[in-house]
Structure 1
Amino acid sequence: MIMSLPLTASQNPDPAAPILIFDSGVGGLSVLKEVTRALPLAPIVYAADHAGLPYGEKSEAEIAARVPALLGRLVERYNPRLVTIACNTACTIALSHVRAALNLPVVGTVPAIKPAAIATKSGVIGLLGTQATIRQAYVDQLEREFAANLTLLRYAAPELVHAAEAKMRGDAISDDVYVSAINGLRNQPNGSQMDVVILGCTHFPLLIDELAKVAGNVSFVDGAKGIARRISHLCDGQSWPENRPLYQFVTTGDPEMCASYLPQLIEFGFRQIDGL
């Protein structure tokens, strides 16, 4: 599920103005993949807040203060046409603060409870997310609105965030991490009937092959395609550069410490890692 503000008719951004994709780490690459499929000519600035990772273990007050301030700096530096907060935790806590602070369209993501509710045959769906995400009142609201007659199982799997980051660095990860996450849902009452799992963190789709291997007959849903469709709609009629779009990857961490990500980032179109 996505949340956004509409573009106004008066907005006519510079063709070189990028789409800014923001996440606590590399999880937003799962969103970037769908955005670049929908808008292959769009310049991209991807910003990873590695200095603040992991968000799921921070307090609501910390995230509500950190994310708008950081995005304010990024908007000032890169002058994007649109901001995408590709982080479920940041969106469920700080989206309204960001929109109040920025004078441009903001697209966010929240757990895909609605499509999961449509897809389930058994009536039992699971939600994997960070600790901060699964406890939010907004998730309660989504459950009441779209899954009131269903069983929604929730499980915090912060180890999957670390696993996704490790995978992007080329590190080996034990299958026990994925087994533990799936069993965290299955071991709850009615968990054996679960047939759909919501990947409620943008890091998690980067691990979908590993999760599917241990999950058996379960389907997975996330919001990346819906976000890409919404961004494409908001950018409809806008101009893009004539040449190959520029992709920039920036981190709040030490770029040299993040160098191990580069071989994987090259597959997404990035050529270097810059500091913020």
Structure 2
Amino acid sequence: MRAEAPILIFDSGVGGLTVLAELRKILPTAPVVFAADQAGFPYGAKSEAEIAARVAGLLGRMSERYRPRLACIACNTASTIALEMVREVLEIPIVGTVPAIKPAAAITKTGTIGLLGTEATIRQGYVDRLETRFANGKTLLRFGAPGLVRAAEAKLRGQALDTDAIANAVSGLRDQPGGDQIDTVVLACTHFPLLVDELGAAFGSNVTFVDGAAGIARRIVSLCEGQSFASDIPSLAITTGSFDQFTPLARLFADHGIDQLDRF
């Protein structure tokens, strides 16, 4: 493996920074290409066919251009829909992002778990299979909260937070039968951990939040075991959308070891 080959992190927006933050704790100088498909954002309201075709096509083109050692789909919606297709198309390891139902089931004391995701994520059979496999005998309540995605993106840009999106997400779970028993909430979107303080205040101190970012980072590292990384190769953040709307995030990317921005 070429030492200069980057790790490609792909997301519909910039929620995947939660994964990159965990990765930087372990591999602080590894070359990274962070790809934000802002031209396709948000994914949650798109059809499965649209998402699958878009993600597979973009990752194929990005892999040809940047020659990564592996790719991480740092998006629950894209992973639950397109992960297997991408693995069939690309000849590099692909790390997906799936709802952290397994660890949530292990820590709940009431047996009632909430799951917040996009509308596309919560209706996937992939989530049904995770529930059957890891939360058998538990109660899993799901709610599609697309407003949280935009709220998280706004927060990163220093814009006013949509408090209605937070309240809607909380009531969407609490108002379901048995919702008052929720003590663990799965944040099934890489954007949502960016709002953990706001969600925590709204749900109350008796609720624990679980996301998969740290586990995803560990998986990336395990797949890179024994490989060398060129520390002098600059990391890059790219967008498929408006570059003018991307550049205000330069300082945020710099905090994660990425000093170069470009349009794909």
Counterpart residue type for residue 40 of structure 2: G
Q: Structure 1 stretches of 5 or more lacking a match?
A: 1-12
Stretch deviating more after TM superposition (14-23 or 253-262): 253-262
Q: Structure 2 stretches of 5 or more lacking a match?
A: none
Counterpart residue type for residue 23 of structure 1: D
Question: Is the 2:149–2:191 Cα contact (8 Å) retained in structure 1?
Answer: yes
Question: Is the 2:19–2:217 Cα contact (8 Å) retained in structure 1?
Answer: yes
In 2, Cα distance between equivalents of 1:76 and 1:119: 42
Distance 1:157 1:126, change over 3 A: same
Stretch deviating more after TM superposition (169-178 or 101-110): 169-178
Question: Is the 2:30–2:231 Cα contact (8 Å) retained in structure 1?
Answer: no
Question: Is the 2:188–2:211 Cα contact (8 Å) retained in structure 1?
Answer: yes
Residue in structure 1 matching 2:211, options 222, 244, 249: 222
Mapping for residues 261-272 of structure 1, pairs under 5 Å: 261-272=249-260
In 2, Cα distance between equivalents of 1:269 and 1:206: 18
Task: Give the number of aligned pairs.
Answer: 263
Q: What is aligned with 2:228? A: 239
Q: What is aligned with 1:190? A: 178
In 2, Cα distance between equivalents of 1:237 and 1:212: 39
Deviation at residue 242 of structure 1 after TM alignment: 4.2
In 2, Cα distance between equivalents of 1:15 and 1:105: 16
Question: Is the 1:24–1:49 Cα contact (8 Å) retained in structure 2?
Answer: yes
Considering only aligned residues, what root-mean-square deviation do their CA atoms show, in Å? 1.1
Residue in structure 2 matching 1:88, options 49, 72, 76: 76
Deviation at residue 259 of structure 1 after TM alignment: 2.3
In 2, Cα distance between equivalents of 1:268 and 1:180: 31
Deviation at residue 252 of structure 1 after TM alignment: 0.1
Q: What is aligned with 1:260? A: 248
Normalised by the length of structure 1, the TM-score is 0.93
In 2, Cα distance between equivalents of 1:150 and 1:182: 20
Q: What is aligned with 2:37? A: 49
Q: What is aligned with 1:104? A: 92
In 1, Cα distance between equivalents of 2:189 and 2:162: 20
Identical-pair percentage? 60
Counterpart residue type for residue 208 of structure 1: V
Deviation at residue 246 of structure 1 after TM alignment: 2.1
Q: What is aligned with 1:145? A: 133
Residue in structure 1 matching 2:2, options 14, 17, 21: 14
